[in-house]
């Protein structure tokens, strides 16, 4: 199970002259006073690093002697990285650093932004597949999730897996001479066809709608009769899409106007979701995945 301290202030650094065996660490650290917030110690000696969990004799006082310790990772399985751009308060950032820079290490200690130090033990991340359509590009939901994960210090490690569907590819599944798009803002290019935009309410023509249930409803308000439709709703495209065990799919739908929920097996946020709603969606995705790494004080 992945372990990440929930606050880097729980991690202390100890520069030692001796070895890093449990016996040597006990000889030096047991009986030494430690700050009341200290739960973990990153012990370093001769360029090697070990990570310990310590117990203080009295938890309440400002300083109290260490009376026991447990070696979480010895020097043979610990990597120490200096990555000034990594915010070590964000578990997803630690997991990404471990995967990119020390994939074989069981424990990765990072000295990162603001010179703060923290670690990730047994690195793993919940894989959240993020399905969105393009254009616009970059896909907005994928970009929002990435930016939220850069600052989400209260989430366990999450790895976002982009799943991007091009509207032009969907159009090719139903070739037509004239397509109707919901709006011009997406910038969809269909060079071999005439393109009109529903939000401009053009004169009715023999067209195929590239849109969703909401677009069909708006079309029905302005024009009589049914319209051939290629469904471009991300939630519809996500329905039934397989993901691995312990993984989850997150997407969006304009029929969900507020809040987040689970629909057809996917976590769904509103179209145009706020950063707070994206964070709520990621929290729900982590719970749904049923694979929540430990984040301990």
Give the tens place of pLDDT for each residue, 60-76.
999 999 999 999 999 99
Domain end position, chosen among 70, 90, 121: 121
Q: Looking at 24-138, which runs of residues are DSSP E strands? A: 33-35, 40-45, 48-56, 63-73, 78-82, 107-111, 117-121, 126-134
Percent of the chain as helix, strand, coil, to the nearest 5: 25, 35, 40
The Cα–Cα gap between 291 and 158 comes to 11
Q: What is the pLDDT of residue 290?
A: 78
Q: What is the mean pLDDT of the chain?
A: 94
Domain end position, chosen among 74, 96, 121: 121
Q: What is the pLDDT of residue 186?
A: 64
Identify whether residues 200 and 253 lie together within a single domain. Answer: yes
The Cα–Cα gap between 294 and 287 comes to 13
Find the mean pLDDT for residues 156-161: 96
Listing from the earlier edge strand, what are the strands of the sheet with 40-45?
11-15, 40-45, 48-56, 63-73, 33-35
Q: What is the pLDDT of residue 292?
A: 46
Q: What is the pLDDT of residue 293?
A: 45
The Cα–Cα gap between 53 and 61 comes to 18
Q: What is the pTM of this model?
A: 0.90
Domain end position, chosen among 95, 121, 147: 121
Identify whether residues 172 and 285 lie together within a single domain. Answer: yes
Q: What is the pLDDT of residue 152?
A: 97
Q: What is the pLDDT of residue 223?
A: 98
For residue 11, how far is the Cα from the chain centroid? Answer: 24
CB–CB of 37/12 below 8 Å?
A: no
The Cα–Cα gap between 237 and 167 comes to 11
Identify whether residues 211 and 248 lie together within a single domain. Answer: yes
Number of structural domains the chain divides into: 2
205 has a pLDDT exceeding 90: yes
For residue 124 the two structure tokens come to 């793993």
Q: What is the pLDDT of residue 202?
A: 97
The Cα–Cα gap between 76 and 49 comes to 8
Identify whether residues 117 and 148 lie together within a single domain. Answer: no
Q: What is the pLDDT of residue 23?
A: 96
| Residue 13 lies in domain | 3-121
Residue 203: count other Cβ atoms within 10 Å of its Cβ.
6
Whether the bond between 138 and the residue before it is cis, its omega within 30 degrees of 0, is yes
């Amino acid at each position: 199970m992945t372990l990440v301290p929930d606050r880097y202030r729980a991690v202390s650094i100890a520069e030692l002259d001796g070895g890093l065996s449990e016996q040597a660490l006990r000889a030096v650290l047991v009986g030494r006073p430690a700050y009341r917030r200290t739960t973990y110690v990153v012990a370093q000696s001769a360029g090697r690093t070990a990570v310990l969990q310590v117990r203080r004799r009295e938890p309440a006082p400002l300083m109290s002697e260490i009376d026991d310790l447990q070696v979480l990772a010895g020097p043979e399985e610990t990597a120490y990285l200096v990555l000034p751009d990594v915010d070590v308060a964000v578990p997803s950032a630690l997991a990404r650093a471990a995967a990119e820079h020390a994939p074989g290490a069981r424990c990765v200690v990072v000295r990162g932004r603001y010179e703060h130090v923290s670690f990730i033990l047994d690195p793993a991340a919940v894989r959240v597949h993020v399905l969105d359509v393009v254009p616009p590009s970059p896909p907005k939901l994928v970009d929002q999730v990435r930016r939220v994960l850069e600052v989400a210090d209260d989430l366990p490690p999450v790895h976002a897996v982009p799943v991007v569907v091009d509207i032009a590819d969907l159009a090719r599944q139903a070739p037509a001479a004239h397509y109707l798009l919901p709006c011009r803002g997406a910038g969809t290019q269909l060079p071999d066809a005439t393109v009109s935009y529903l939000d401009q309410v053009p004169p009715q023509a023999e067209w195929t709608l590239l849109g969703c249930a909401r677009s069909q409803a708006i079309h029905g308000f302005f024009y009589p009769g049914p319209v051939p439709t290629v469904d471009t709703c991300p939630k519809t495209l996500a329905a039934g899409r397989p993901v691995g065990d312990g993984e989850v799919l997150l997407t969006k739908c304009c029929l969900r106007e507020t809040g987040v929920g689970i629909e057809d097996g996917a976590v769904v946020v509103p179209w145009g979701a706020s950063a707070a709603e994206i964070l709520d969606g990621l929290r729900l995705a982590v719970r749904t995945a049923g694979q929540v790494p430990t984040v301990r004080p």
